[in-house]
A and B are shown apart, each in its own frame.
Chain A
C-alpha cells in the first residue's frame, strides 16, 4: 500500500513541474534563503532515506517469496528511490561534505564482474576461462591486488571496509544504488537495442537457484541496502538542526553560502550533467555510458538531476508525500536585485526541463536513453544534444545571476568563463 502511494506521487510530480514560478513578492533575507536551502536538502535526503527503506522492504519480500511479481515490485521500488535522490545531486558540488560522501552511495561505473557473474560471450574468450567467475558472490575467498580477501561472510563491513581498505579513494565499487541496481536487473546485454537487464527471479530462489550462490547474492543485496540506509541516515543528520553540512552553509558569511548554492547548480548543470553524463556518452555512442544502465532509468536520472537544480533556485521541492515544500528562494533574492537576470534564469531552467521532458517521453514511448545516444540515431542524438545545449545556456544564466548578486568568485566546475563578466558578455 505504501509503495503504491509513492508511485502515484512520483508520477504526479513529473506532471507538475512546469507550473510557472510566482515570486512571493517579498524580499527575503539572505539568511532565510540559506536556511530554506538547507531545509530542502534535509527533506530531499530524508525522502531518499524513506524510499530506500521501502526498497529494503521490497527486497525482503522478494527474498521471502521469489516471484516475478515481487522482483518487479523491488525493481519499481528502486526506480522510485532514485527520484528523490537524484534531486539531491545539486547539493553535491557546492558542499564538500556531500561530495566526499557521494561515492559511497552513487559510485559509477560499477565493477560488475567483481560482484556477480557476467556474460562469458564477451569477445572471443572461451567459457572455460575461470577468470569470468572470480567474483565475490561466487567465491568465499578472492585475490585482489596481492591480498587474499576472506569473503566467506558477505556483510556490510566486508563491502565497506575490507574490500576498500587499500584503495581508499575509489572506494565502494561494490556498494550503493548501482550495485543494488545490478543485483536487481543484471547486465543489460541488449546493446543499443530495446530492453534493460534481465536477471531471472531464480537468482533469488534458494530452492531453485538459477545463477548459483543465491544465498550469497541475497547476503550481498541486503548488506548493500543496509549500507545505503546507514549512509543516507548520516546525510539526513548532516542537514539536521545541528548538522555540519547545514552549519557550513549557514555559519559562513552569507555570500559564501549563496556561492555554494550557485556553484552546486552550475557545476551539476555544466560539467557533470551536460558534460560527463550526457556529452561524453553521446560522443562515444556507448550504449551503457549512461547513468542508470542496468535498469534503463537514465532518462529519469537526468530529469531529476535537472529538477533538483530548479528546486534550489525557486525554493520549491515536491516531497514524496505530495506536499510542496516552499519558502524564501534564491529567485526572490535575485529578483530584488536584478529582475532581468532572474527572469533569464527562470526561462532557461524551464527550457531545460522541457528538453528533459522530451527525453522522458521518448523513453516512455519505448525508445530508451541508451538507444537515443546510439550511433546512427540522428533523431535521438539531436534530442540529447538539445538537452545538453539547454543546460549550457542555463549555466551561462547562472553565471549572470552570480554577477547580479555581486559574488566575485564562483568556482563552477569546468567553467572558467562564468566568473569573468567580460567573457560572459563575449559568449552571449
Chain B
C-alpha cells in the first residue's frame, strides 16, 4: 500500500516541478489576451453540454443539452432517485427504505436544494434547521497506529469515538438525534482603498443538545454547505495530466502559490487517485462522492459503503440494532448498484447554464481584472475534457469551470484546522465558479465559501488569505469601479 503513496507523491513532485518549469516559461502574457471581446463560445461554460434553457430558479436542474432524447429519460429517472424521499425500514417500498437511523436529510435534493448551493441556517435550532449544511467531525490521531493509517491515506480522518465523522441532526422514530449546530457570528472589519468599510461575519460554532453524551475533548469540526451540483461530470472528465501540470506543491516557481493534488483513496480499486470532489477534494470519483453522501448524510448502505446504519458507531449501539433496509434484490444493500448508477448518470449530466452578457463592456473589463489580478492562477479558466466512449456528451468539450481542482492554503481566517486526507486544516480545494452568478436566482441567496459565511462576492473575495493574500490585497486596493467590474464578471458566470 505504502509504495503507492510514495509513487504518487514522487509523481506529483516530478510532474509538479516539470510543470512549474513550463509555467515559468509559458506564463500567459495578459496583455496578449483579447479582453475587448469574448473568446469563441466562451458563453458555453460546459461546451456542447451547456444548458441553453431560459434562466430561472430551475436553471441548475437541466440535463446536458447534447444528451439524446432517450438518454434524457434516464436522467429524469436519476432525478427521481435524487429526489426520492427515504423512509425508515421496514416499509413496503423496499427501494425506498433504510433511512437513518441518524441522518442529515431524507433525500439528496433536500440538501442540494434546486441542485444548487446550500446555506447556513438563518437562525439557531429550533428556529431553523441546518438541513443544507453539515458538520464533519474527527479527532487527532491517538496512537502511532492511527497516525500511520492517516499517513498512508488508508482513512482520511480518525472519527470522533461516539459521533463518527459527521454530526447527524435528525433521527428516525425511537432514536436520538446527535445534536444541533449553533452559530454565533462575530464582526470583522475590512477597510477598502476608498475608505469603504466592509464588515465580514466570522462564524463560531458550537454543538448543543448532544444526544449521546459529551464529545471527545479534542474534537475537530468542519462546517460545510452543500455545493452546487452542476458540471460535476465535466470536472471528472478533465484529464489528470491537465490538473497535475498546474500543481506546484513546493512552490518551485516562487509565485507564493503551491497547488497540491489531493491524493485520496479510491474505495473500489484501493488505489490512490487524484481527489476532485468535496470542499477538500477528498473524493476521487463522483460515484464515490455520491455513495459517501448516501451513507453519511441519509444513513444508507451502498455498494461501496456497506453499513446500513450509516455513521452510527459502536458507542451508539441502539443505532446499530435498528432494522435495516438491506434488500436481497439490491445485493443486500439499501441502495443497490442500479440506483447508484442512476444517480451517477444524473449527477454527471446536470448541465452548467450558459453565461449571460459575455460581450458586455463591464463584464469584459471585470474579466481583464480577474486575469491581471491573478485570480485566474487558481481559478483556472478553461480546459478541454478527455474522451470516454461511455460519456460522449461530456467528451472533448471546451469547458470554463474556473478551478484548478488543487488544494491551496487559504490562511488562518478560512482555516477549519481539521485535516482531511492530504489536505491540511488551512487548505481548501479551489471551487469551480461556473454558474455562481445564478446562485441568487436558483437558491435565493448569495452566501458563498465552504460554510456560507460570505454574503456576496466581495465578502467571499475578502476572506481569501494565505496563498491568495496578495491577490486579495490587489482587490482591496482597486477603485470601487474596478471592483464593481470584477463582480459583474463573476455575476456573468
Query: Which A residues lie at the B interface, using CB under 8 A?
Result: 107-114, 118-119, 122-123, 125, 129-132, 134-135, 142-147, 166-167, 169-170, 173, 187-189, 197, 270-271, 274-276, 279-281, 283-289, 293-294, 375, 388, 392, 396, 409, 411, 413-417, 419-420, 423, 427
CB within 8 A of B90: which of A118, A144, A279, A423? A118
By a CB distance below 8 angstroms, the chain B residues around A147 are: 126
By a CB distance below 8 angstroms, the chain B residues around A134 are: 173-174
B170 within 8 A of A: yes
**A-side interface mostly:** loop
Tell which of B268-276, B322-330, B410-418 binds the partner. Answer: B322-330
By a CB distance below 8 angstroms, the chain A residues around B211 are: 146
Q: Are B173 and A143 in contact (CB under 8 A)?
A: yes
Q: A173-B87, A276-B80 are in contact. Are A416 and B63 (CB under 8 A)?
A: yes
Docked pose: A427 CA to B66 CA in angstroms: 12
B53 within 8 A of A: yes
B176 within 8 A of A: yes
Docked pose: A201 CA to B129 CA in angstroms: 41
- Chain B, range 38-75, C-beta contacts under 8 Å to A: 51-54, 56, 58, 62-63, 65, 67-70, 72-75
Query: Which B residues lie at the A interface, using CB under 8 A?
Result: 51-54, 56, 58, 62-63, 65, 67-70, 72-77, 79-81, 83-85, 87-97, 106-107, 110, 126, 129, 131, 169-177, 179-180, 209, 211, 318, 321-324, 326, 329-330, 336, 338-339, 342, 351
Q: A113-B87, A131-B174 are in contact. Are A167 and B129 (CB under 8 A)?
A: yes
Docked pose: A396 CA to B72 CA in angstroms: 12
Docked pose: A283 CA to B338 CA in angstroms: 8
- Known A125-B324, A416-B67; 5 more pairs at CB < 8 Å: A111-B88, A270-B76, A285-B329, A293-B93, A416-B62
By a CB distance below 8 angstroms, the chain A residues around B177 are: 145-146
Q: A134-B174, A411-B53 are in contact. Are A289 and B95 (CB under 8 A)?
A: yes
The listed residue with most B CB atoms (<10 A of its CB), out of A123, A134, A271, is A123
By a CB distance below 8 angstroms, the chain B residues around A131 are: 173-175, 318, 321-323
Q: Are A132 and B323 in contact (CB under 8 A)?
A: yes
Closest chain B residue to A271 by CB distance? B76
Shortest beta-carbon distance from A109 to chain B in Å: 4
By a CB distance below 8 angstroms, the chain B residues around A294 are: 92
Q: Are A392 and B73 in contact (CB under 8 A)?
A: yes
Give 11 A-B contacts (CB < 8 Å), ordered by A residue.
A122-B89, A129-B323, A143-B171, A170-B106, A271-B76, A286-B329, A288-B92, A294-B92, A392-B73, A411-B56, A415-B72
By a CB distance below 8 angstroms, the chain A residues around B97 are: 109
Q: Are B69 and A279 in contact (CB under 8 A)?
A: no
By a CB distance below 8 angstroms, the chain A residues around B69 are: 392, 396, 415, 417, 423, 427
Q: Are A375 and B76 in contact (CB under 8 A)?
A: no
**B-side interface mostly:** loop
Docked pose: A200 CA to B453 CA in angstroms: 55
Q: Are A279 and B77 in contact (CB under 8 A)?
A: yes
Q: Are B95 and A286 in contact (CB under 8 A)?
A: yes
The listed residue with most B CB atoms (<10 A of its CB), out of A108, A169, A280, is A280
Shortest beta-carbon distance from A204 to chain B in Å: 20
Q: Are A289 and B329 in contact (CB under 8 A)?
A: no
Q: Are A280 and B80 in contact (CB under 8 A)?
A: yes
Docked pose: A392 CA to B321 CA in angstroms: 44
Docked pose: A173 CA to B76 CA in angstroms: 23
Shortest beta-carbon distance from B420 to chain A in Å: 27
By a CB distance below 8 angstroms, the chain B residues around A112 are: 87, 91-92
Q: Are B173 and A135 in contact (CB under 8 A)?
A: yes
By a CB distance below 8 angstroms, the chain B residues around A135 are: 173
Docked pose: A111 CA to B62 CA in angstroms: 30
By a CB distance below 8 angstroms, the chain B residues around A411 are: 53-54, 56, 58
Docked pose: A287 CA to B90 CA in angstroms: 14
Shortest beta-carbon distance from B26 to chain A in Å: 38
Closest chain B residue to A144 by CB distance? B173
Q: Are B107 and A284 in contact (CB under 8 A)?
A: no
Q: Are B91 and A111 in contact (CB under 8 A)?
A: yes
Closest chain B residue to A185 by CB distance? B92
Docked pose: A17 CA to B77 CA in angstroms: 29
By a CB distance below 8 angstroms, the chain B residues around A396 are: 69
Docked pose: A170 CA to B88 CA in angstroms: 14
Q: Are A123 and B326 in contact (CB under 8 A)?
A: yes
Q: A275-B77, A276-B80 are in contact. Are A414 and B63 (CB under 8 A)?
A: yes
Shortest beta-carbon distance from B345 to chain A in Å: 12
Docked pose: A174 CA to B481 CA in angstroms: 55
Q: Are B87 and A414 in contact (CB under 8 A)?
A: no
CB within 8 A of B176: which of A146, A187, A275, A287? A146
Q: Are B80 and A427 in contact (CB under 8 A)?
A: no
Q: A131-B322, A146-B171 are in contact. Are A188 and B73 (CB under 8 A)?
A: no
